[in-house]
Structure 1
Amino acid sequence: MSTLNNTSSQVSSLRYQGELFLLAVSFFSRLPVPANLPYSEARMNQAGRYFALVGVVLGLLCAAVYSLTVLLFPQTVAIVLTMVFSLLLTGAFHEDGLTDMADGIGGGMTVERRLMIMKDSRIGTYGAATLVMALLAKFVFWSELVSEPQFWIIIVVAYTVSRATAATLIYDMPYVSDADTSKSKPLANKQSTLEVAVLLFTAGVVGLYLGITLAVLIALVLLVFRATFKAWLLKRIGGFTGDCLGAAQQLSELLVYLTLIAFFHCS
């Protein structure tokens, strides 16, 4: 009887973790999940542990699309098609965050005004310029890296570690947005040590596929970025919003590509 209870408990625990993962998938992508997936604020916070794992899934899908499209089209065309697929896959979720953060912090003179602008769905000059440059940078960086034999691994690693970096900001920063007026999805705004550990473990394991040297180099660059970005956000708005996490993901991803380009160029 005890063995049966233990087995039932393990199955229930696995089902619960699976539901948390699917909740993370629904938060970060347009991939279909069961309509009756349980949701609560506590579950959303716990689902944060799987944000990096969702990055693995999204990265693999984008790498697969590139691998298929490059068989039919030139590399630059395949890159554009893969970027379009990525935007459709996530609903431009992170790009929207980057745009709104740029508008808010760039255009607001007070904390209250910055937060108010971030909640506005309209795009201003700061946001438009930032979005264009971010997409252009991704196209150029991918064009530089596409000749590398590990290009598909680079995509998966960048998608994974960038989401891990962004998600860890939840751990030691206050959430400053008003949940009742926010235009974004319900957000994980609390994080335990376990959630951070799972995020970092996932990012570390995936990063090692590029080799220990590159994994350590990327980790150091992202640690510096995280510390700098955190200090900047605290100074400008006193904490983080969902838009800031989207911006952190986009900037972290671009930094991964830029770091690898510099490494390969200097090697």
Structure 2
Amino acid sequence: MKQQFHLLLTAFGFFTRIPIPYKFAFSQSYLNQCNRYLPLVGYVVGGISASVFFASSQIFSSTVAIVLSMITSILVTGAFHEDGLADVCDAFGGGWTKEKILTIMKDSRVGAYGAIGIILSLLLKFVSLNELPHSFIIKTIIIGHVVSRTMAVWTMHSLNYVREDESSKSKPITKALHIKDLVIAGAWSIFAFIPFFDVRIFLILIPTFITKYCLERYFKKWIGGYTGDCLGTIQQVTEQVIYLAILALAGYVAYQSSAQGQISNLF
């Protein structure tokens, strides 16, 4: 139990800015295994963001509340995943060889591709959440943060880590994820579906899996595997896809219910 507690603290210590009031010894072994708890990080980050949305929506409009919740998630994680997305946009947008892509990815500066990618990413998140009915937003935020992190964990198992030289600015990352850790992460993520009270919500996994698979194929083609920035990109992009999938599913169910003269209880 002590070891599992250390793994949990390692996950929060690396993937969030939440203060950890407990001293523990870092090891590569802990880093390799702590990703089994990455969905729990998603629950906490998503829960905090959803709580800010709920509290601020009592005072402001849903539009303002969504922006405040998005700012909160960025502050809690230190823009950890958003930074990865920006780096990937710059690297793959400006590089045409593996060496060039990895070199650009080391650069801490944000270029045009990265800036455009981040702006469009945040805009898409905002619009997707803002289109949802008010009562859907809290559980959508939570499931988005949880399942998208599970997709990133899955990539750690599916692809090989691209080893870079010591000058790399890549973040600390798992280099060998065991199937046991992937199964545990997947089990944690199932609980995020329960608040929807309908098995149809699992349909959102289809576009999410497809998106993850396509990104993995793209990364493997160009650099032969993944880096920490690639994982941040998978988390960000699949989170967006989850929001869009729930929005599309909600619209479809509402249309079907209207056509049948019934009120859906999906959400």
TM-score > 0.5, shorter chain as reference = yes
Equivalent residue runs for 1:42-81 within 5 Å? 42-81=29-68
Structure 2: where are the runs of 5+ without partners? 254-267
211-220 vs 49-58, which moves further: 211-220
Counterpart-to-counterpart distance in 1, 2:243 and 2:203: 12
Q: Contact between 2:48 and 2:72, CA under 8 Å: does it hold in 1?
A: no
- What's the CA shift string for 1:182-209, capped at 9, x where partnerless? 2233111211111000111111222233
Call closer, same or farther: CA 1:191–1:179 in 2, change over 3 Å: farther
27-36 vs 240-249, which moves further: 27-36
Aligned partner of 2:262 in structure 1 is none
CA RMSD, Structure 1 to Structure 2 (Å): 1.4
Structure 1: where are the runs of 5+ without partners? 1-13
Counterpart-to-counterpart distance in 2, 1:249 and 1:168: 11
Aligned partner of 1:158 in structure 2 is 144
Counterpart-to-counterpart distance in 2, 1:185 and 1:233: 17
Call closer, same or farther: CA 1:247–1:78 in 2, change over 3 Å: same
249-258 vs 80-89, which moves further: 80-89
1:196 to 146, 162, 182: 182
1:234 to 220, 230, 233: 220
Q: Deviation at 1:71?
A: 1.1
Aligned partner of 1:111 in structure 2 is 98
What is the count of residue pairs matched by the alignment?
253
SS, match of residue 170 in structure 1: helix
One-letter amino acid of the counterpart of residue 99, structure 2: E
Q: Deviation at 1:43?
A: 0.7
Q: Contact between 1:179 and 1:186, CA under 8 Å: does it hold in 2?
A: no
Counterpart-to-counterpart distance in 2, 1:106 and 1:35: 41
Q: Deviation at 1:152?
A: 0.9
Counterpart-to-counterpart distance in 1, 2:16 and 2:90: 23
One-letter amino acid of the counterpart of residue 84, structure 2: G
- What's the CA shift string for 1:13-48, capped at 9, x where partnerless? x12111101110111110011362221101100101
TM-score (norm: length of structure 2): 0.91
Aligned partner of 2:170 in structure 1 is 184
Call closer, same or farther: CA 1:210–1:181 in 2, change over 3 Å: farther
Q: Contact between 1:119 and 1:182, CA under 8 Å: does it hold in 2?
A: yes
Q: Contact between 1:161 and 1:207, CA under 8 Å: does it hold in 2?
A: no
Q: Deviation at 1:168?
A: 1.0
Q: Contact between 1:29 and 1:90, CA under 8 Å: does it hold in 2?
A: yes
Q: Contact between 1:218 and 1:259, CA under 8 Å: does it hold in 2?
A: yes
Counterpart-to-counterpart distance in 1, 2:173 and 2:92: 20
Aligned partner of 1:205 in structure 2 is 191
Counterpart-to-counterpart distance in 2, 1:120 and 1:175: 19
Aligned partner of 2:205 in structure 1 is 219
2:21 to 34, 40, 47: 34
TM-score (norm: length of structure 1): 0.91
Q: Deviation at 1:232?
A: 1.0
